[in-house]
């Protein structure tokens, strides 16, 4: 159990939390929700002890599993050892035990201490530590041959999965996970869901994956109105309950305001007359009926709408024998397909299977994009008549030129657009007021993503090629993107690990598995049973 009592946190004039008191109980799995900037990560740091509250206190169990955010902290350690370090008591005992065994002579005191250490190793299941760590790593798609390697030899996404295994290791009494599904493919996300569903301690998780929150969480702790309100159920349950509560208060306030207006009218008419007692009683009733003050929600919802200047031809793109290899590794093994106007294709498969590689090959000579012959080895890609492409890359490095304001950068893509139109578009994506004048080099990850969507909406393409577009977006923005993609009348090629997007947007699936690409002419839901 984790107990929070009277906690307040302020940064300058901004109040994140004010006198928050709540309890996270054993056996419950909590989703910690709220828009970007609401204070989710700050609150998580209060729970882990990384930050001290400015006022109030936090009581936590001794054994916490925390998802580390520093990918480089364990570069000099073996992968399997990094996982075992998640149980600090066990790891400390193992290190001291090995040091004692390495001594040339064993003293009586050293022998006694060894006995104590062996007792700790036994209590913490240390004799099965490596095999337990291996099971976690396998579930998170870290191959056996990597377990003995140094962390420095792993790629960034692999390091994150090892740190996740570290948090899960050693049966912690509470698990605190900040964005655990980042860099995980769908198979690993499903494995994590099943693992957490069996976890019997206290779980608190921050995630922008709505499907994950709905699948895992028994409760939702929502940060809004400068406090935290806990609802029963997953994310969707919280949204329904929160909306109903606010609607009820608004309705009650409307009825009270109508009654107050009637009473005030009576008071105004008869206040100076002979009905003084009746006026007095009505004044008291007005005081009693004062409406409930509705705090302003910090939730902001972007408005995303993709429109087309003109439709493409009937065939959006024709692909003939496209190949791409890296050395001896054949990532795209001669893929052919015809994509018709209006199809919405989702690309699914494990990380590293070739989804981004295929998209880059298709775009190597696409209309309106820079030519990049190195992204394709062989084959032809014929884009259809009038095809125009809006591209959202997974790696956004260098996508937005520095030294400009957000508005000036966006204006470059349609110099004929009015300033009012540019700032209106920025406002739709939550760059309100002077935020549109923010320097591009100061943009956060979420702001960069929203500005790239502004560019696509300004250009009005008829083909959207989106590679992991939900990275850096909060739940409200992801939901807005989901609706916009469903309504878009053009063609979509989409790489995502967000299951709701896969199920609700896609009409066709390109499945990457065992070095091959299967073209499934149906929805992800229709394909899913064969993936289980």
Show the tokens assigned to 429.
Answer: 């994506």
Residues 56 and 83 placed together within one structural domain of the fold:
no
| pLDDT tier for residue 481 given thresholds of 50, 70 and 90 | very high
Whole domain around residue 366: which residue ranges?
A: 315-531
**CB 341 within 8 Å of CB 315:** yes
Residues 218 and 287 placed together within one structural domain of the fold:
yes
Q: Strands of 389-392's sheet, edge to edge?
A: 389-392, 463-467, 491-495, 344-349, 508-513, 516-520
Percent of the chain with pLDDT over 90: 52
Residues 339 and 434 placed together within one structural domain of the fold:
yes
The residues, ordered by sequence, that sit 6+ positions from 405 with a Cβ below 8 Å of its Cβ are 436, 437, 438, 439, 440
The residues, ordered by sequence, that sit 6+ positions from 426 with a Cβ below 8 Å of its Cβ are 406, 407, 410, 432, 435, 436, 451, 454
Q: Is 113 left (phi over 0), alpha (psi -120 to 50) or beta?
A: alpha
| pLDDT of 252 | 67
**CB 359 within 8 Å of CB 465:** yes
| pLDDT of 493 | 98
Alpha helices in 271-332 (DSSP H): 276-288
Phi, psi of 203 (to 5 degrees): -110, 130
Using the Cα atoms of residue 127, residue 133, residue 136 and residue 137 in order, give the sign of their dihedral: negative
Residues 130 and 185 placed together within one structural domain of the fold:
no
Alpha helices in 12-72 (DSSP H): 40-48
Residues 131 and 218 placed together within one structural domain of the fold:
no
pLDDT averaged over every residue in the chain: 88
Residue-wise pLDDT for 125-150, tens only, equals 899 999 999 999 998 889 999 999 99
Q: Which helix (H) or strand (E) holds 339?
A: strand 329-340
Closest by CA position to 188, among listed 234, 140, 224, 225: 140
Residues 200 and 347 placed together within one structural domain of the fold:
no
Most confident of 103-117, 253-267, 370-384: 370-384
| pLDDT of 185 | 82
Residue-wise pLDDT for 176-234, tens only, equals 998 888 778 888 888 889 889 989 999 999 998 889 999 999 999 998 877 888 999 99
| pLDDT of 30 | 97
Give the pairing of strands 174-178 and 14-24. unpaired
Residues 84 and 130 placed together within one structural domain of the fold:
yes
State how far the Cα of 191 lies from the Cα of 200, in Å rounded to an integer.
16
Q: Of 154, 187, 206, which residue constitutes the final position of a domain?
A: 154
Residues 372 and 406 placed together within one structural domain of the fold:
yes
Residues 353 and 488 placed together within one structural domain of the fold:
yes
Residues 177 and 148 placed together within one structural domain of the fold:
no
Residue at 71 is within a domain: no
Residue at 273 is within a domain: yes
| pLDDT of 262 | 78
Phi, psi of 228 (to 5 degrees): -125, 125
Residues 195 and 149 placed together within one structural domain of the fold:
no
| pLDDT of 296 | 55
Residue at 68 is within a domain: no
**CB 524 within 8 Å of CB 503:** yes
| pLDDT of 2 | 95
Provide the whole-model pTM: 0.74
pLDDT at 25 over 60: yes
Residues 377 and 353 placed together within one structural domain of the fold:
yes
State how far the Cα of 363 lies from the Cα of 457, in Å rounded to an integer.
19
Beta bridge partners of 249: none
Show the tokens assigned to 350.
Answer: 């494990």
| pLDDT of 426 | 94
Give the pairing of strands 378-383 and 315-326. antiparallel
Residue at 123 is within a domain: yes
Q: Of 299, 329, 349, which residue constitutes the final position of a domain?
A: 299
State how far the Cα of 333 lies from the Cα of 331, in Å rounded to an integer.
6
Residue at 67 is within a domain: no
Show the tokens assigned to 313.
Answer: 């031809």
From 348-352, 379-383, 410-414, the region with the lowest mean pLDDT: 348-352
Residue-wise pLDDT for 430-442, tens only, equals 898 888 888 998 8
Number of domains in the chain: 3
Residue at 492 is within a domain: yes
Rg of the chain over Cα atoms, rounded to whole angstroms, equals 28
State how far the Cα of 153 lies from the Cα of 149, in Å rounded to an integer.
7
Percent of the chain with pLDDT over 70: 94
Residue at 310 is within a domain: no
DSSP assignment, residue 437?
G
Residue-wise pLDDT for 253-276, tens only, equals 677 777 777 777 777 777 666 666
State how far the Cα of 180 lies from the Cα of 209, in Å rounded to an integer.
10
- Tell me the three-class secondary structure of 454-474, residue by residue: HHHHHHCCCEEEEECCCCCCC
| pLDDT of 522 | 92
Closest by CA position to 393, among listed 409, 370, 413: 370
User: In terms of C-beta distances under 8 Å and separation of at least 24 residues, what long-range contacts does 416-422 make, across chains too?
Assistant: 417/458, 422/458
Q: Strands of 55-59's sheet, edge to edge?
A: 14-24, 2-11, 55-59
Residue-wise pLDDT for 502-523, tens only, equals 999 999 999 998 889 999 999 9
pLDDT at 526 over 60: yes
Residue-wise pLDDT for 155-171, tens only, equals 777 888 899 899 989 88
pLDDT at 279 over 80: no
Q: Of 239, 269, 299, which residue constitutes the final position of a domain?
A: 299
Residue at 305 is within a domain: no
Residue-wise pLDDT for 42-80, tens only, equals 899 999 998 999 999 999 998 899 887 777 889 999 999
| pLDDT of 256 | 73
Looking at residue 422, which CATH number applies to its domain?
Answer: 3.40.50.300
Residue-wise pLDDT for 384-404, tens only, equals 999 999 999 988 777 888 899
């Amino acid at each position: 159990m984790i107990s929070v009592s009277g906690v307040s946190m302020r940064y300058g004039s901004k109040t994140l939390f004010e006198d928050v008191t709540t309890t996270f109980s054993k056996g419950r799995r909590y989703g910690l929700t709220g828009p970007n900037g609401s204070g989710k990560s700050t609150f998580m740091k209060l729970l882990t002890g990384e930050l001290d509250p400015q006022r109030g206190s936090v009581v936590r169990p001794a054994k916490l599993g925390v998802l580390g955010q520093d990918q480089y902290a364990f570069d000099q350690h073996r992968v399997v050892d990094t996982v075992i370090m998640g149980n600090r008591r066990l790891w400390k005992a193992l290190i001291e035990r090995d040091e004692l065994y390495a001594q040339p002579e064993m003293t009586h005191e050293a022998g006694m201490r060894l006995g104590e250490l062996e007792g700790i190793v036994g209590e913490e299941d240390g004799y099965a530590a490596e095999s337990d760590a291996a099971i976690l790593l396998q579930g998170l798609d870290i191959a056996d041959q990597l377990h003995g390697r140094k962390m420095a030899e792993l790629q960034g996404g692999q390091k994150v999965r090892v740190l996740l295994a570290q948090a899960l290791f050693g049966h912690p009494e509470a698990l605190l996970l900040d964005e655990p599904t980042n860099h995980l493919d769908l198979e690993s996300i499903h494995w994590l869901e099943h693992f957490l569903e069996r976890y019997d301690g206290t779980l608190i998780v921050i995630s922008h994956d709505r499907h994950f929150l709905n699948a895992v969480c028994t409760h939702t702790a929502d940060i809004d109105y400068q406090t935290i309100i806990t609802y029963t159920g997953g994310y969707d349950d919280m949204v329904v309950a929160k909306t109903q509560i606010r609607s009820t208060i608004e309705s009650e306030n409307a009825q009270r305001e109508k009654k107050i207006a009637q009473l005030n009218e009576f008071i105004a008419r008869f206040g100076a007359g002979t009905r003084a007692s009746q006026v007095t009683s009505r004044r008291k009733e007005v005081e009693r009926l004062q409406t409930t003050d509705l705090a302003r929600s910090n939730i902001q919802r972007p408005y995303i709408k993709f429109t087309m200047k003109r439709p493409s031809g009937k065939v959006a793109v024709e692909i003939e024998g496209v190949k791409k290899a890296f050395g001896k590794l054949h990532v795209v093994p001669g893929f052919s397909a015809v994509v018709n106007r209006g199809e919405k294709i989702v690309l699914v498969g494990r990380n590293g299977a070739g989804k981004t590689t295929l998209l880059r090959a298709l775009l190597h000579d696409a209309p309106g994009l820079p030519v990049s012959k190195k992204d394709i080895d062989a084959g032809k890609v014929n884009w259809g008549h009038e095809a125009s492409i809006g591209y959202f890359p997974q790696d956004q490095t260098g996508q937005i030129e520095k030294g400009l304001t957000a508005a000036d950068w966006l204006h470059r893509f349609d110099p004929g657009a009015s300033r009012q139109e540019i700032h209106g578009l920025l406002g739709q994506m939550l760059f309100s007021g002077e935020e549109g004048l923010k320097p591009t080099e100061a943009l956060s990850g979420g702001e960069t993503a929203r500005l790239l969507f502004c560019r696509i909406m300004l250009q009005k393409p008829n083909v959207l090629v989106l590679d992991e577009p939900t990275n850096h977006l909060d739940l409200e923005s992801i939901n807005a993107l989901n609706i916009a993609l469903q309504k878009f009348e053009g063609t979509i090629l989409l790489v995502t690990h967000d299951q709701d997007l896969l199920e609700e947007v896609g009409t066709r699936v390109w499945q990457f598995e065992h070095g091959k690409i299967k073209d499934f002419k149906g929805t992800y839901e229709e394909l899913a049973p064969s993936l289980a």
